[in-house]
Structure 1
Amino acid sequence: MKKLILSAAIILGGLSVQAATPPETISTAKFITIQDEYTEVAADAVPDAVKSTIEKSFPNTKLEKAYKNEKNEYKLEISSGDKKYTVFTDASGNIIKK
């Protein structure tokens, strides 16, 4: 009888160890996008240096919209046919990579 109870305990103990599942680790990634606040300005408010840079660097394009931030940087949306591009410049007309 002792052997029977001992065998049952070993079998049940073995089954309970196999039934235990390891905890799953769920990783979550958080992305924070820092974006300078740009406010829309009229195309007339864009400095001539910026307009000149756009005309030289991107010929045959049209200035669709212009935005300006507190750092005096410009975000320009230009288009050529059905393609649209976004270009960032400073007030002097230097193109900024973002």
Structure 2
Amino acid sequence: MQVNREAKFRIGQVVRHRFYPFRGVIFDVDPTFNNTEDWWLSIPEEVRPRKDQPYYHLLAENSETEYVAYVSEQNLLPDESGEPVRHPQVPELFGPLKDGYYAVRTKSAH
């Protein structure tokens, strides 16, 4: 039986990882795990998240670099720093940051 859950976080929201020192802005959400089995098994068993929860795609950053991350809902918290995310793709997808959320840019037809 599949449980229909509503995502706790939303696209444009700035979040941080519960355990690891990185943060990012959400640009996509999967209702449940949607990555490879090898990826999931590469996570140490003692910290491996459940598959039956939303997973978030982040434009992420840590103190050294920017990258794309895939993170389970149970491992995210709202980022309350108020600081912008420096990932270079943020301006392509989002407008201004306000109260922990980026405005989602609408695509214009050319």
TM-score, structure 2 as length reference: 0.29
Judging by fraction of residues, say which structure has more helix.
1
Point out which structure has higher relative CO (alpha carbons under 8 A, 6+ apart). 2
TM-score, structure 1 as length reference: 0.32
Judging by fraction of residues, say which structure has more strand.
2
